[in-house]
A and B are shown apart, each in its own frame.
Chain A
Amino acid sequence: MSQNVKVVQRASSSVRDKLYLPAIYDGMKITFKHFFKNLSDINAVDVLRYPEEQPQDITDRYRGLHRLTHRPDDSIACVACFMCATACPSNCMFIEAQEREDGHDEKMPKSFSIDTLECIFCGYCVEACPCDAIRMDTGIFSLTGNKREDFVLDKEQLLANKGAFGEVCSCARD
């Protein structure tokens, strides 16, 4: 048993370390160096000044705000199958179906809204959709509004959101 015990030498055993004050001095030197360097030229601090400077490095896998895709003839790609709403873990999708009259399919959504205050941006809806009708590739990362209702995106808004990384139409349908 005892041969497995490893005795580790304490790192700070010199008098200088035990006094503690020199160590404080060393630390203060670093603190002061950063402080005065940044104070003398505040614009050189390497940060993103957010509202004025927008992030330039959003990848196409970034899960931004949702959008509903179109078919090549500009009609809605969604067939109101409720797969996304079923997969949604936070139950924040509200879909109403209606009969479809443009000759493509049987159904289309009469209303389609997402409460983004409840949405956790997990992307399950995108995975669940069988016809690539909902996507989160808008690149929109900031969502602002003045009242709660502003955060419930309805069908028109979702259709109006543009994809940010090419791929305009739904790949699954034509």
Chain B
Amino acid sequence: MSTASIIVAISSFALGTLLALMTIPVLVWLERRTAGLVQDRLGPNRTNIFGFRLGGVVQSFADVVKLVLKEEYYPSHIKSGKWLFMLAPIITFVAALLAFMVIPFADTLIIGDEHLRVQPLPIDFGVFWYLAVSSIGVIGVIFGGWLSHNKYSLLGAARAASMVVSYELPLGLSILAFIITYDTVDFNAMVTSQSELLFGFLPAWGIFMQPIASIILIITLFAETNRNPFTVAEGESEIVAGFMTEYSAMKFAMYFMAEYIAMNTASAVIITMIFGGYQLPYISTQMMLDNFTTLAICVMIAAPIVVTLFIKWMQKNNRVRPGMAQDKGREFETKFFTIAFIVMTIAIEFILLYLAFFSENLLAQSIYVTVIQIATFVVKLMIFNMFFILIRWTLPRFRYDQVQKLGWYYLLPLALLNIFVTALVVVGVSL
């Protein structure tokens, strides 16, 4: 183990943890604001620290403080096994968190003759890890429902558990189709093989290679994360609030956060398997390294344009309505961020200028390529999280029998058929 490999391992682990944990408040905020905008209202945008609202993200942190400070309340009918009752949400939370840890954020970094994975847990059987760990999450749900000693919670847990178990089959089968197609169980190798071209003009992303398996994967992952339209674990009209009825304060928050981490993990798996992961379409890692100067110039041109558009948007929208007297620091906030963004862009421009024309430092260049890939990954992740959120405000909840029917009558046979066809094609091609 060299110093470089230790640094890369630690920083990718830190990055993974940060991406998983920091996205919780951001996603909670994003979900509420998106919901607002979809429904022609605004969502939380008032909370601020010294006038800095950041569009209202501060609200999520205020909520965290509130939940932490709330009274820990245990229902009096839970006589023994309180620690198990407490453990249940932790299981769900940790499972969702650990499942995220095998997603590669960038291509393998080559320093000297060492190949270093930019993956929080550097293992090469990522798909199996994901399948194994993410399905543990439902145990926390079952525990929670069972230990609540409450019929509604038990029913909610039973519904969630049976749905997750039903959808695990088509999920596994669709992933099997991808394993056959890519011929690997390593997420990173999957992404690498998606950087090729299909028929000479399409990027060989999973969605084009395996459209049916991709749709099944997306549907089943929606079910696995217990999100709309598959929120059968909850159901205000039939079973009160589902398995978390008896949970309060931080215990409830654990379930709540686990849902968002699970959504984040599902998005990460979807983009890694079928949307090319950290790759930009048509551009492979080797191409980026070989044509570093071109890449740097492209970014140098693109960055100011993107930042200008964003600043324009911010100046238009981060202000009070004309005709409203008070401003409460919004103008200052806009000014501050405008300057901050401009300074940041200029700094990036200078670094790129130096790297592209005045330095032949290969290490710095490959680190820069890694950073670009991480940025691509994060952007794709956020786009897909937005998709998850917008689906929630589009589709109503399925009835329970519809959920089971969809899983067993349609998705399972379709997934089996798809595997059959995939196997035929793969064998046919290799002959």
Which A residues form the contact surface with B (CB < 8 A)?
Answer: 21, 24, 27-28, 30-32, 34-35, 38-43, 45-47, 49, 51-53
Contacts and interface: CB of A to CB of B under 8 A. Distances in A.
Contacts of A21: 215
Contact of A35 (B38, B313, B321, B395): B38
A114 to B, nearest CB: 30
A28 B321 contact: no
Contact of A31 (B316, B317, B325, B390): B390
Given A49-B324, A52-B324, A28 B37 contact: no
Interface in B277-294: none
Given A27-B395, A43-B321, A49-B324, A35 B37 contact: yes
A115 B351 CA distance: 65
Given A42-B317, A49-B321, A52-B320, A34 B390 contact: no
Nearest to B45: A42
B319 interface: yes
Contacts of A45: 37, 40-42
A39 B34 CA distance: 9
17 contacts: A21-B215, A24-B391, A24-B395, A31-B393, A34-B37, A35-B38, A38-B38, A42-B42, A43-B320, A43-B322, A45-B42, A47-B42, A49-B324, A52-B320, A52-B324, A52-B325, A52-B326
B236 to A, nearest CB: 21
B320 A39 contact: no
A42 B334 CA distance: 15
B214 to A, nearest CB: 12
A35 to B, nearest CB: 5
Interface of B: 34, 37-42, 46, 215, 313, 316-317, 319-322, 324-326, 390-391, 393-395
Given A43-B319, A49-B321, A53-B324, A38 B40 contact: yes
B394 A46 contact: no
Contacts of A32: 390
Contacts of A40: 313
Give me the 5 closest cross-chain CB pairs, A-B, nearest first. Answer: A38-B37, A27-B394, A42-B317, A31-B394, A52-B324
Contacts of B324: 49, 52-53
A34 B325 contact: no
Given A32-B390, A35-B390, A47-B42, 18 more contacts: A21-B215, A24-B395, A27-B394, A27-B395, A28-B390, A31-B390, A31-B394, A34-B38, A34-B39, A34-B40, A35-B38, A38-B40, A39-B37, A41-B316, A49-B321, A51-B46, A52-B324, A53-B321
A102 B394 CA distance: 69
Contact of A43 (B37, B41, B317, B394): B317
Nearest to A29: B394
A34 B41 CA distance: 10
Contact of B40 (A28, A46, A51, A52): A46
A27 B321 CA distance: 31
Contacts of A31: 38, 390, 393-394
Contacts of B313: 40
Contacts of B319: 43
Residue among B38, B313, B321 with max Cβ neighbours from chain A (10 Å): B38
Given A43-B319, A43-B321, A28 B38 contact: no
A10 B37 CA distance: 34
Nearest to A46: B40
Contacts of B322: 43
